[in-house]
């Protein structure tokens, strides 16, 4: 069965056609609006929604033309139903439902964070239940206990900013571009350690599995303000701040995910979501590979994309497919997935 995946929850227009039975990607395409939103230092929901409208149909038409597949061969359509920005979600939902009506095929609403999580299974045949998932993106920082398909229990989460959001806000403070995660990572790699900065690791030793990132971001803010009183920040200083910020954020993620595995006696840790693209995070977790089995999607499929929606759709359609209406869920708890 060929499933078309449509992702429009934020600022990436993602589509993919995935043949579930053959486990083959027929095509995938991504249009990133990042440059447009960079002008405003963050995503502007109204502009994002308008751009999804402009991009979706041309992206699909081009990819269909390039492939030898016809519209009638598409067996189902999966789309991101939430959580995310309401306007952008409505565009994807409207597009998916109209197409499913025209082609008379099922349409499957997908939970965006579940799709991130499931994507780690894409090329990990040996991943078995139960497992722990560290789900880290621009809007979420969750530790989830996954007992079986669809059985998600959130056992840890951020008390304030999501970790991706902290990367984005810190990058903005340092006058780096949007999205901030890849920019901070690049700058951290350039650090030669000329300045020995030290930022806090909030809640790292708390007994629970929760996180807090707003204090870390505020520490960077105070440091930047203080240093800027004397002179503009040098490139070396920016690199060193990025390095220490990244270390601090990642120390918290690593410590709490390992703790979760220990408490839940899980040997498998699944890392997903946009921040999972961060190489330093992967490397720090890889160091514990003897104690845990680590799984994560390839870098391209950590950040938002259409394939993760198509892939999640394929897992769902084999269970039970209903006829769903257009009713997006901008706030949708992972624990309420069916
Ligand atoms: O999953 P995603 O693409 O969108 C949401 O669902 O939010 O995640 C986007 C987030 C952004 O905050 C971005 O800065 C962060 O993931 N991100 C990274 C990296 N690549 C993307 N954070 C750290 N290091 C990266 N390499
Ligand atoms: Zn995402």
128-296 shares the fold of 2-118+301-336: yes
CA of 30 to the centre of ligand 1 (A): 15
CA of 2 to the centre of ligand 1 (A): 28
Q: Report the pLDDT value the prediction gives residue 319, as an integer from 0 to 100.
A: 52
113 CB less than 6 Å from ligand 1? no
185 CB less than 6 Å from ligand 1? yes
pTM: 0.94
- Ligand 1, pocket-test mutation among 181, 187, 246, most atoms within 8 A of CB: 181
CA of 167 to the centre of ligand 1 (A): 8
- Ligand 1, pocket-test mutation among 37, 168, 274, most atoms within 8 A of CB: 274
CA 334 to chain centre: 14
Digitized pLDDT (tens) for each residue of the chain, 338 residues in all = 999 999 999 999 999 999 999 999 999 999 999 899 888 878 999 999 999 999 999 999 999 999 989 999 999 999 999 999 999 999 999 999 999 999 999 999 999 999 999 999 998 989 999 999 999 999 999 999 999 998 999 999 999 999 999 999 999 999 998 899 999 999 999 999 999 999 999 999 999 999 999 999 999 999 999 999 989 999 999 999 999 999 999 999 999 999 999 999 999 999 999 999 999 999 999 999 999 999 999 999 999 999 999 999 999 986 555 555 567 788 888 988 87
Tokens of 157: 């989460």
- Ligand 1, pocket-test mutation among 170, 303, 307, 330, most atoms within 8 A of CB: 303
The domains of the chain are located at 2-118+301-336, 128-296
Q: Report the pLDDT value the prediction gives residue 318, as an integer from 0 to 100.
A: 64
164 CB less than 6 Å from ligand 1? yes
* Closest C-alpha to ligand 1, atom 8: 274
From the CA of 246, give the closest atom in ligand 1: 23
Q: Report the pLDDT value the prediction gives residue 185, as an integer from 0 to 100.
A: 98
**Which ligand has an atom closest to residue 297 CA?**
1
**Is the distance from CB of 40 to CB of 27 less than 8 angstroms?**
no
Q: Report the pLDDT value the prediction gives residue 325, as an integer from 0 to 100.
A: 56
Assign a CATH topology to domain 2-118+301-336. Answer: Nucleotidyltransferase; domain 5 (3.30.420)
CATH homologous superfamily for 128-296?
ATPase, nucleotide binding domain (3.30.420.40)
Query: What CA–CA distance (Å, rounded) separates 80 from 330?
Result: 10
Q: Report the pLDDT value the prediction gives residue 216, as an integer from 0 to 100.
A: 98
């Amino acid at each position: 069965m060929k499933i078309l995946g449509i992702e429009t929850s934020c600022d990436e227009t993602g589509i993919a056609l995935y043949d579930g039975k053959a486990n083959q990607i027929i095509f995938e395409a991504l249009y990133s609006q990042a440059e447009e939103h960079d002008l405003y230092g963050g995503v502007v929901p109204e502009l994002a929604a308008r751009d999804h409208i402009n991009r979706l149909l041309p992206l699909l038409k081009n990819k269909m033309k390039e492939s030898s597949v016809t519209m009638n061969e598409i067996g189902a359509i999966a789309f991101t139903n939430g959580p995310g920005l309401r306007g952008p979600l409505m565009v994807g939902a409207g597009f998916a439902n109209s197409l499913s009506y025209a082609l008379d095929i099922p349409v499957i609403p997908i939970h965006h964070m579940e799709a991130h999580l499931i994507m780690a299974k894409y090329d990990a045949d040996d991943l078995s239940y139960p497992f722990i998932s560290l789900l880290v993106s621009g809007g979420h920082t969750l530790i989830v206990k996954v007992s079986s398909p669809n059985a998600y229990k959130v056992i840890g989460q951020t008390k304030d900013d999501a970790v991706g959001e902290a990367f984005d806000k810190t990058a903005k403070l340092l006058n780096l571009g949007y999205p901030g995660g890849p920019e901070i990572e690049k700058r951290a790699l350039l650090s030669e350690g000329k300045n020995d900065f030290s930022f806090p690791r909030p809640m790292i030793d708390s007994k629970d599995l929760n996180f807090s990132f707003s204090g870390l971001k505020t520490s960077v803010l105070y440091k930047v303000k203080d240093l800027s009183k004397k002179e503009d920040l040098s490139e070396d200083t920016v690199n060193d701040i990025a390095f220490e910020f990244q270390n601090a954020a990642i120390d918290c993620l690593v410590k709490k995910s390992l703790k979760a595995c220990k408490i839940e006696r899980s040997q498998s840790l699944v890392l997903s979501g946009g921040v999972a693209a961060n190489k330093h995070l992967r490397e720090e977790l890889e160091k514990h590979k003897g104690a845990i089995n680590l799984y994560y999607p390839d870098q391209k499929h950590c950040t938002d994309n259409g394939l993760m929606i198509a892939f999640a759709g394929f897992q769902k359609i084999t269970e039970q497919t209903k006829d769903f209406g257009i009713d997006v869920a901008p706030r949708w708890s992972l624990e309420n997935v069916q």
